[in-house]
Amino acid sequence: MSNINDNLKDRILDSIAEGVFTVDKDFKINFFNKAAEKITGHKREDVLGKFCKYIFKSPICLSDCPIALVLRNQKNLFDYESKIFDNNGKEIPIKLNSAILYDENNFATGGIVTFRDMSQYQLIQNQIDTPQNFHGIIGHSKAMQEIFKLISEIATSDAPVFIHGESGTGKELVANAIQKLSNRKDKPFIKINCSVFPPNLLASELFGHVKGAFTDAIKDRPGRFELADKGTIFLDEVAEMPLQMQIQLLRVLQEGTFERIGESLTRTTDVRIIAATNINIQTALQNGKFREDLFYRLNVIPIEIPPLRERKEDIPLLINHFINKYSRIYKKEIKYIDPEALNVLIDYDWKGNVRELENVIEFALVRTNSNEQIQVNKLPSNLIEKNNNPNIQPFSNSKERTEMLMLLEKYQWNRSKVSEVLGIGRTTLWRKLKKLNLINE
């Protein structure tokens, strides 16, 4: 019966589109599904029994093995960005998930990694770049255009950058854009989420350790600051860092020096630091959870990303971008959204910001047949229910609002051109847009 169950599990794993492989306690591959074969070009029979690091040859195999990370942090890994090399030596960008496998007695027996090829996503991103698509950041509102300009102005400096914005606003995209335009674009770009690691492990992740420094330190290991030397490090959720760690980070900013855990040798590093947080900084400073001296060191170039509800004029552009993106991914001929559905999306408050909007469009597009518009009944039920809530006042002049949206989209939100077409002044147009809740200026 056990063999039958194992065969069924293998067939199930072979049927999914993501690459899947498992390893034993020695990190030797003991399962490799068909999608993994397709993505990597390696045949299953050629990789079974071999160390995974020799098959994938990923930079993280030596520094941040995803299974080792899960073991250390006791947390599963989701959407971890990396790259591997196929059997012809071609680099493949991937996103992976990782978890530990346990037997019936709850003993760890190995690990599992699922991964997907992101090459097509990057190709699609390059194909749909527009003047409002700034290195993957979408927006034509005044606030976003000012951010694009600021990034262009400061990218080539080595000054620290502090990005602040709610979850889902695109802080990592801003960091990516800065790195792409910087003088360090061809050097390492290391990312770490400071809220993911327990306090006792964060120091090891950032600064490294030597063998014997603590119980699980079985060999010397470089930290992120060493790996990022001459490049850039992105410290996401930096305000979640323990106070003791903040002091050590301050030293790196001031002197460019640090020590590995358990070592007295002082090491140097040359990195540009980009930090980000979604918490209220002033509250964190007042409560003593974030050091003022560290804040001022990091906040040399502040970038504030507005929430989506404060730049609703960007919503139609973002919708078109995501429709284009996911139509290509799912091989559908969907180009438009019904005006009623568009109004629902513009009226929604988007607590999850751009990330939530993207998820909604992907959900609706998957449910929509090719060559059709996305209709309101294809949106998630929570959006439709909120739109039908009698306590929420519906917009008046819905037809005027929809027509204005279509006109703005036609002329790429060029207000001077729209004013000319309508035969009204820019001030009058601004008042109309404000009345229709299409701008928040």
Q: What is the pLDDT of residue 387?
A: 58
* Secondary-structure class of domain 396-441 per CATH: mainly alpha
Q: What is the pLDDT of residue 115?
A: 92
Identify which of 298, 404, 388 has the alpha carbon closest to the alpha carbon of residue 344.
Answer: 388
Would the pTM count as exceeding 0.75?
no
Cα(429)–Cα(78) distance, integer angstroms:
45
pLDDT in tens, the chain (441 residues): 344 466 777 778 887 888 999 999 889 999 999 999 999 999 999 999 999 988 998 877 766 688 887 877 677 877 777 889 888 888 888 888 898 888 888 888 889 999 988 887 766 555 555 557 788 899 988 899 999 999 999 999 999 999 999 999 999 999 999 999 999 998 889 999 998 888 778 888 899 888 887 777 778 888 899 989 999 999 999 999 999 899 999 999 999 999 999 999 999 999 999 999 999 999 999 999 999 999 999 999 999 999 999 998 899 889 988 998 899 888 898 988 988 898 889 889 999 999 999 999 999 999 999 888 999 999 998 887 765 544 444 444 556 776 777 777 777 778 888 888 888 888 888 888 877 777 765
**Domain segments of the chain: what residues?**
2-117, 142-305, 309-394, 396-441
Q: Which CATH architecture has domain 142-305?
A: 3-Layer(aba) Sandwich (3.40)
Q: Provide the 8-state DSSP code for 80.
A: E
**C-alpha to C-alpha distances, 145 to 120, 140, 150, 306, nearest whole angstrom:** 27, 6, 9, 12
Cα(337)–Cα(361) distance, integer angstroms:
10
CATH topology of domain 2-117: Beta-Lactamase (3.30.450)
Cα(299)–Cα(382) distance, integer angstroms:
38
Q: What is the pLDDT of residue 29?
A: 94
CATH number attached to the domain at 309-394: 1.10.8.60
Q: What is the pLDDT of residue 438?
A: 72
Cα(333)–Cα(35) distance, integer angstroms:
26
- Give pLDDT tens digits for 210-255: 888 777 777 888 889 998 999 999 999 999 999 989 999 999 999 9
Q: What is the pLDDT of residue 199?
A: 77
Q: What is the pLDDT of residue 388?
A: 53
Cα(14)–Cα(349) distance, integer angstroms:
41
Burial class (CB in 10 A: 0-12, 13-18, 19+), 256: middle
Identify which of 164, 255, 259 has the alpha carbon closest to the alpha carbon of residue 206.
Answer: 259
Amino acid letter, residue 61: C
